[in-house]
Structure 1
C-alpha cells in the first residue's frame, strides 16, 4: 500500500517538474526570471502535492472509516448469524420436541382406540354370552318343569337330581357302548386290512414261487438236454473205446502170434513175455536180422552165379 502511494506522488511530481516551456521564451528570459519561474513552478508543484496529500489523507481516512464500518458491520453480521443459528437450533429443537410430542400423542391415541375397540368387542361378547345364558336359563327352566312333571307322574324317583343321576348313568353307559362299538369296528377294520395285506403277500409269494418253479423247470429241461447230449457223447465214446479195445486185442493177438513164430524160428532162445511193446521190439529185431541174412544170401548167390558164368 505504501509503495503504491509513493509511486503515485513520484509520478505527479515528475509530471509537474517536466513541464516544458517553449524554447523561444527560454531564450528571451533572464536567468533570474527563469529561476523565479522555476520557483513558482516548484511552489505550484508543492501546493499540488500538498493538496493531493490532503486528498489522499482524506481518502485514507474515509477508507479507514469505511473499513472500520465494514468490520463493525461484519461483527454485527456474525453476531446476527450466531443469533440466527441459535434461533434456528432452538426452533429445530422445539419443532423436534413438538413432532415427538405429536407422535407420542398419536401413539397414545391409537393405543386408546385399540383399547376402545377391544372393550367394544368384549362388550359384544359379553352381550352374546348374556343372550346365550338367557336362552340357556329358559331352556333349563323348560327342562326343570318337564322333570318336575315326571316326578308327579312316577314314584320311582324322589327328586329331580335322582332323574339327572339316572340320566348321567344311562348316558355314561351309552357312551361306553358307543366306545366299545367303535373299538370293535376299528379292530374289524384293522383285521380286514391285515387280511387284505396278508392275502396280497401270499399272492405275491405264490407268484414268486410260480416264477421260481418256471425258472427251475427251464433249468431242468436244459439240464435234461445237456444230460441227453452227454449220454450220447458217452455212448459214442464207449463205442469208440470198445472198437479201440477190440482193435488193440487183435493187435496184441497178432503180435503174440508173430512173437511165437519168431520164438519158434529162434529155437526158443527168446524169453517168454506178455508185454506187447517188448514183443514188438523183438519182432522188429528179428525182422532186421532176417533182412540182413537175406541180403547176405542174395549177395552170395549173385557171386556164385557170376563165378560160374566166368568159368
Structure 2
C-alpha cells in the first residue's frame, strides 16, 4: 500500500508539473517575474497534491474499516459453524459409544461363557493330576524314609533338605571343575602351538634384523655425510624463520590495532582473545562487508529517491 501511494503521488506530481504551459504574449518577462510565476505554480501543485492525498487517505481508511467489519462477520460465522459441527460430532460420538458398549457387553458374556467352560476342563485336569501326584508321593515315601534314617545317623545336617542342597552343590561344583579342566587343557595346547609359532617367527626376525643391521650401518655412514649439509640448511631456515616471526608479529599487531579501531567506532562488544588473530581478521572482514552492504543500500536508495524523478527547470 505504501508503494502504491508513493507511485500515485509521483504520477500526479509529474502530471501537474509537466503540464504544457500556454503560450503567452509577454515572453519578455524578467527572470525574477518568471521565478515568481514558477513558485506560484509549485504552490498550486503542492495544494493539489495535498488535497488528493487527503482524499486518498479517507478512501483508504474507509476500505480498512469495511475490511475489519467483514473479518469480524467471518469470524462469527466460523464460530457458529464450529459449534454446530462440534454438536453433530458429540451426538455421533455418543451413539457410537452406546453401540460399542453393547457390543462389548455381548462379547464379554461370550468370553465369560468360554472361560467357564475352560475352567471346568482345567479343574478336571487338575483333579487327575492331583491323583497322579498322590500316587507318586506314596511311591516316593520310601526315599523320604531312607533319607530320614541317614539324617538320624549323622550329626553334620539338621534337616533332609540340607543334605539334598549339599549334594546338589557338590554336583554343580564337580561339573564346573570338569569344564574348567577341559578349558585349561585346550588353553595349554593352544599356548604350545603359539609358542612354536613364535619361536619360528623369532628365528626369522633375527635373520632379517641382522640383514637390516648391515644395511643400516651403510645408511648411517651416508646419513652422517648428509648431516653437515642439513646443518647448514638448518641455520639458513632459522634465519628465515626469525624474519618470518618478526613479520608475523607486525601483522598481528596491525590486525589488533585495526580490530580495536573497528570495535571502538562500531560500538561492537566481543570476547575475542587478543591472541586470536584469525577471529579478529574474520570480525574485521564481517564489518567491512556490512559497511559495503550499507553503502550499496544507501547508493541504491539515492538512485530510487522520488526527488530524482522530478525534472529540473532552468
TM-score, normalised to structure 2, is 0.28
| Greater RCO, CA 8 A, separation 6+ | 2
Which has the greater radius of gyration?
Answer: 1
